[in-house]
Amino acid sequence: MTVSPPASGPDVVVKSRASRAKHWTRSAAAWLLALTILAAVFAPLLAPADPGQLTLNQLQPPSADHLLGTDALGRDVLSRLLFALRTDLMLMVFAAGLPMLIGTLIGAVAAYFGGVLDAALRWVADIFQALPVYVLLIALVFVLGPGTQSLLVAFSVLGWVVYARLIRTEVRRVREQEYVSASYLLGLSRTAVLFKHVLPNSLRQSFVYLATDMGMALQGIAVLSFFGLGVKAGTPELGAMVSEAQLYLRSHWWLATFPGITIVILGSSVAALGDRLRDRGEVGR
Amino acid sequence: MTSHPLLEVDGLRVAIRRQDTALTVLDGVSFAVGASQCLGIVGESGCGKSLTLRAAMGLLPPGIERTGGKIRLSLQPGAAPSEVQAGQVAGRGLAMVFQDSHASLDPTMRVGTFIAETVRRRGGTSRSDARRQAVELLASVGVPDPKVRFNAYPHELSGGMRQRVAIALALATDPRVLLCDEPTTALDVTLQAQILRLLNTARTERGLGMIFVSHDIAVIRQIADVVAVMYAGQIIEIGTVSDVLDRPRHPYARALIDAVPSIDGPVGPFRSVPGSPPDPIDYGSACRFLDRCGHRDTACEGVVNGIDGREAGHRSACVHNGTLAHGLEAT
C-alpha cells in the first residue's frame, strides 16, 4: 500500500500578532534612527538659520518663518534641534564607545592571560559594580567641570567595568576553542592570537550591550545637561534645551516639547535596535 | 637519501598535575618519522594517541604538562634532527590537522585570508603573492573554484571542503612533519577516501613526514607505512603495517584488530576486549594489559616497559613476545 504524501501547499509562515507588532515597531525604530542620523549629518543644510544667532523675535510660536518657533533669545528652535542632534548623537557614540573600547581591552587582556591580572580585574570590577553609577557620574562631572571632555571621561571611568566583565566571560570561553589552539600551531604569538582570533569571536555580546548602553548614555547626557553639568552653555543640546525651557513650560509649550519628544524617540529607537541585536544574537547561537 | 629521521620523539612523558601529585599518562613514548613516511598510531580512546601529538606540538591543555623526554626535529632538509622546545615548532616544521574542522577553523575569518596570512608569516612574501599562493593551495587540496572559495567563511563550506581547507592551512606553514589527529573520523566513507588520497599526495609530493592518529584500523592500513599500537600511555607494539595488522604479537594488538568486524570473514559475534583500560592511578610497573589478557602468567607481573619505537623491526612489549607470536595468529 502506498501512502500519499501530504498535500503540499505554499509555505506560509504564520506570524503571531505580537510578533508582527514587534516587527513593525522595530522597523519603525530603525527608520526613525536612520532619519535622525541623516538629519544630524545634513544639519547645516537643513537648518533654516544659524542655531546660535540671536534675534529680537523672542519666544515666537511655531509659524511659517520658524517652524518650531523661537526661544527666549530669539534663536530658531528647529535649527537648534537639528544641531543638537549632532551633539547628542556624537556624545552618545563616544560616551558608550569609549568605555567599550577601554573595558574590552582591559577585560580581554586580563581574561586571556589570566593570573594576577584577572584576579585584579575581578576585584576592581566588584568594587565598581557596587557603586551607584548615576550619583558618581554627577559627582565626577561636577568635580571635572562641565564640558564634553569631562562628560566622556566620566562615562569612561564608570562604564568600562561592564564591558570588561562581558568580554572576560566570552574570552574565557573562546580561548578554549580548538581554533584558538590551532592558531598557535600555525605559529602565531599569544598576543596575535588574542587580537586576530579570540577577540573577533568574543565581541558579539559586547555589541549588543553597546546598543543598549548608547540609549542609556543618551539619556545620561540629556539629564546631566539638564542639570547644567553637560555641554558648555550655548551649545545646542537636547537636555540643555529642555532645561532652558523650564521657565516657559506653562506659557511657551514648544520650547520643551520638541526637544523632549526627540529625546524620547531617539532613546527608544536606540533601545529597540539593541533588542533587535540581542534577538539576532540568540538566534545565531 | 639521508637516513636521518625528520622527527624523533624520545622518552616522552606527560603528566596531569593534581595539587601536589602528578599522574603520568604518557610513559616514555618514543618513535621516529622519516621523510615521506607515515607513522600510524592506533589504540582505544584514552590511551594517549592525541596527547602524544599535542605534547609533540607543545599544545597541552592547562593542568597537563610534559615531565620528561626530548623532541628532535630536522629543521633543514637533510639535517640531523636537533632538540626543540615545546611551542617552538608550531608553524616552523610541525603542523597539525584536527578531527573536527568545524571547531578548528576560526568562524570569523575568510578561509583564504586565513591561509594567505599563514603563508605570509613565513616571511618574504608580498600580500598579493601570498594571496596567489593561498589560491594555489586551495586548488591543490581539491577545492573547486578556489578563487571564489577564498572569500568563504568556514560555515559556508561542507565538512569535506572544510577539512580540505584545514589541510591547506596546515600546508601553508610549509611543515616538515604533518600531525593528523583523526582527520577523517568526522567524514563519511567516500570523503574519507578522498581526504586520505589527498594527504598521501601531499606526503609524496612534499616529502612530508606524517603521523596519523586514528582508531580506525582500515584507515591506518590505507595510509600508514609503520603502525604503533598504544595502550595505557605506552607503545606496546610497532612494526610495518602488514606485520602489525596481519601478524600482531601483543595480545592487546591482536584483540584490537579482532574487534573490527570483517566483511570477508565468517559471521560471528563481535569480539570485544573484555574489561576497560586501567586508570592512570593504577599504572604500575607490571604489564598494563594484565587484567584483560588471556595469556597472562607470573612473568607479566614483573617490570614490563613500553617499547622504543625508534628502533627498526617488528617489536612488541609483551613478555611472551617470541613464544606467543605463533599462537596469536591462530586465534
Q: Which three cell numbers stand for residue B182?
A: 583523526
Q: State how far residue B103 is from chain A, nearest Cα, in angstroms.
A: 6
| CATH number where A133 lies | 1.10.3720.10
Residue A2 lies in a domain: no
Residue A9 lies in a domain: no
Return the SS3 of B39: strand
Residues of B in contact with A197 (CB under 8 A): 106, 108-109
CATH topology of domain B1-93+176-331: Rossmann fold (3.40.50)
* pLDDT of res. B330: 42
pLDDT by residue (tens digit) across A232-252?
Answer: 888 899 999 998 888 898 888
To test the contact with chain B by mutation, choose from A173, A174, A186 the residue with the greatest count of B C-beta atoms within 10 A, namely A186
- Domain extent at residue A234: 24-47+65-284
> What value does the mean pLDDT of chain B take?
87
| Alpha-helical runs (H) found in B122-206 | 127-140, 146-149, 159-171, 189-206
Residue A5 lies in a domain: no
Structure pTM? 0.79
Q: State how far residue B167 is from chain A, nearest Cα, in angstroms.
A: 12
Residue A193 lies in a domain: yes
pLDDT by residue (tens digit) across A77-92?
Answer: 999 999 999 999 999 9
Residues 6 or more apart whose CB falls under 8 angstroms from that of B288 comprise: B231, B232, B233, B234, B277, B278, B304
Q: Which of A187, A196, A201 sits opposite B173 (nearest CB)?
A: A187
User: End-to-end alpha-carbon separation of chain A, Å?
Assistant: 43
Are B314 and B239 within 8 A, CB to CB?
A: yes
Q: State how far residue A59 is from chain B, nearest Cα, in angstroms.
A: 56
How many domains does chain A contain in total? 1
* Contact call for B121 and A185, based on CB within 8 A: no
* Cα(B180)–Cα(B270) distance, integer angstroms: 29
Residue A176 lies in a domain: yes
Nearest to B30 by CA among B63, B57, B56: B56
Q: State how far residue A206 is from chain B, nearest Cα, in angstroms.
A: 16
pLDDT by residue (tens digit) across B209-263?
Answer: 999 999 889 999 999 999 999 999 999 999 999 999 998 888 898 888 888 877 7
Locate the domains of chain B by residue range.
1-93+176-331, 103-173
Assign A283 a pLDDT band (cuts: 50, 70, 90): very low
- Higher pLDDT: A166 or B322? It is A166
Residue A141 lies in a domain: yes
Q: Which three cell numbers stand for residue A150?
A: 569631562
Chain B residues within 8 angstroms (CB to CB) of chain A: 57, 59, 87, 90-92, 94-96, 98, 100, 103-109, 117-118, 121, 169-170, 172-173
The angle at the Cα of A24, spanning A22 to A29, to the nearest 5 degrees, equals 95
Q: Locate cell 565626577: which residue?
A: A140
Nearest to B163 by CA among B192, B189, B135: B192
